[in-house]
Structure 1
Amino acid sequence: MGPLGVCSGGIAKPPRRSDSEDLFRRLPDEIVLDILSRLGTVNETARCGSLGKRWRGICRLIDGGVLDFDKSLDLLRSTIPKTPTLEISKEAQLRFANAVNQALSWHRSETLDALRIAFDLYGLGEEAWKWIEFGLKKRVKELRLLSCFSYSGDHRIPLPLLTPEFLGTQDLSRLEVLELEGLSIITQETVDYIFSHCHSLKRWVLRNSCFRELMSAPNLHTVKFTGNATICFGDQLPQLLEASFCGALKASDYSLPWPPSQFCRYAPRLERLTLELRMSNFFNASRGRLDWLTFENLRVLDLVMYSSSSSFLACTMPLRAAPMLRELSIWFSIPDYLKKAWEPSDLSAGSTWWEHHSLEVLKLYGVHQTSKLDEPRFRRPGRESHDARVLCLEASMSD
């Protein structure tokens, strides 16, 4: 037999170690934890799973998410095995919960950088509450709970998390990012408590949730709201750099975060703004003008405009009120009664953005509104008329 173990019978395989021979099983917990602490991530730990049964369960956490012992805990919906009917079996839930709990028991750091849970809880509501509590006790910096709810009448996250009584037992001093999605109930008391105790909070995102009011948050850098929410800030946001308000907002003082005439006063440092406006109501309130967009530091402006009239075609946009604006993106609808092929020049008629010397990028997204949305007709510059759903025109204003 040669050096590679080749013989007349083929390749001689090395003797297989019996399953009962588990060298790591003999090690004390202190040594195992010391070995784990020297590994960079669970991805590296999972590669060692074949060395001992004690580590094999960690592999269940790798599919669909990454779990880093020292930095972040990322639990995604694809992490849990599904049955053929796409339902999560109780056995799979139990195995997943046990694997997560085991991994958390090995975490020895005093802090956690990020915790993200992004799946329907189903029967894991109580377990998920423990995981969230674990992150808060580790003074997590970024907490993201996306579509993380138990279905019982309404979609709710575990309610104990949303009470000042529970939050009062946690240290929220390091929390910088709070992102919540799919909450049907969030009380004003909870929000007041969060903003009065999370002094480091810089990013607040609330999606698809019912919410009526928001108190002062002077340290916020980013705020995003999506859904049928009535938003009101109790004070200025002097550090706010990015804001996004989407979800059928109207131009009344009670639907926009601030009265239009006072937009710039409440966010003097704002650099990026995204607004979704119902133009039929907006034009009635603003007389067809966007002259309330007066921001000295605004760099990027995204507008999503819905209109049932053609008045937006002739609207003036005095962007000289935003002298630092570099990029402008507009999503708008093309009414059905405009039978001719639409061209970008139609929208630019009477507008002043072409004369804006600081503007570098202009993006126009035209969405054709017809009874047959699958057969709109657009004309791109220099091309023949053809079918398309959305027309995007990008123009560079720089030399």
Structure 2
Amino acid sequence: MLTLPTPDQRLEPYQLTGDPLEPRAPRVPLTRTAFAAAHVVSDPLAERDPWIGRPAVDWDNTLKFRHWLWDQGLGLAEAMDTAQRGMGVDWLTAKELIERTMAEAKAHPLKPRVACGAGTDQVPLADLTSAEAIIAAYSEQMEAVEAAGGQVILMASRAFPAIGAGPDVYEQVYGKLLGQAADPVILHWLGDMFDPALKGYWGGKNVAAASDAVLSIIKSHPGKVDGIKISLLDHAHEEAFRARLPEGVRLYTGDDFNYAELIAGEGQHYSHALLGIFAAIAPAASQALEALASGDMEAYHALLAPTVPLSREIFRAPTQFYKAGIAFLAWLNGAQSHFIMPAGFQSARDITHYAHVFRLADQARLLSHPDLAQERMGLLLKLHGID
């Protein structure tokens, strides 16, 4: 029994009620491609001046967490915003992460699919004032991803909005990058609720104009785009957008509010997944996708429905702080021995949020080791003066 804080500043007793899912590999081939975007685990003993310089990464635990995802049949989206790109993790660290992860993936018996983020964050925004400079920055990271053997995800770059780029600049840059890519890439449309610096992406005056702009890029480069990840938290827009995609181009949902319905889809139109929340709900995600592949929609929704309130709490505004909830659940479940994040990011959320995540994770059957989770939640409560 724990005493947990509530949003109205009361304290209430809470008894664990969940029947935790046992992580396991799917028993049938999945019919949806599913990438879980994973975080990095800090080394708290090696961390110095965490707000300054490169983070100290606990590589053993960081890679162990990736094996845990792969063992459950999930793919991996590596070095994305979930891994704190631009929020504590610099490009040199991300490059090392990509190289280490790809070496592990090649040796894994399931040969998991891994896609890796390529962006422009190794160059200061002040130096990214032209299409040529943006292309050069992207190209450096793309080459590193391809050299390691990963699939390229062209991450959304803050450089475009910073220079007020119109659709023509996006076409120039993305056209060049797609032309030089060795294999089909995944595009990345991250809304400003995840990163305010990305407001106005694709150069359109509104979402409809932005949609037209990126669809024009995709259609102008047949065979070069595997799919596009959309994270706008707009269910209706995603459904309308995916119906307009050329045949063979996937829609990877990044909608951490509505993923269950979007992945289930309607008839021939459905979304695949590239989700930060899948790293936190891996057992439910894997087993739900197994049920979907087996045609058991009742089991699919029974497994995923309880995870949606949890995801909505983890990704609530300010949405860019969701990374703290992902790492928190990894700590509760024993995937890491501490709750320390690059740049001290664990302080981005308050104790009431963490208490609510604890309750919802239990109710979604996602506290794999209940006794350990209760012990660690108790330690965090004591740190905040709640005994």
Task: Give the TM-score normalised by the residue count of structure 2.
Answer: 0.34
Between Structure 1 and Structure 2, which shows a larger proportion of strand residues?
A: 1
Between Structure 1 and Structure 2, which shows a larger proportion of helix residues?
A: 2
Q: Which has the higher contact order (CA 8 A, sep 6+)?
A: 2
Q: Which has the larger radius of gyration?
A: 1
Task: Give the TM-score normalised by the residue count of structure 1.
Answer: 0.33
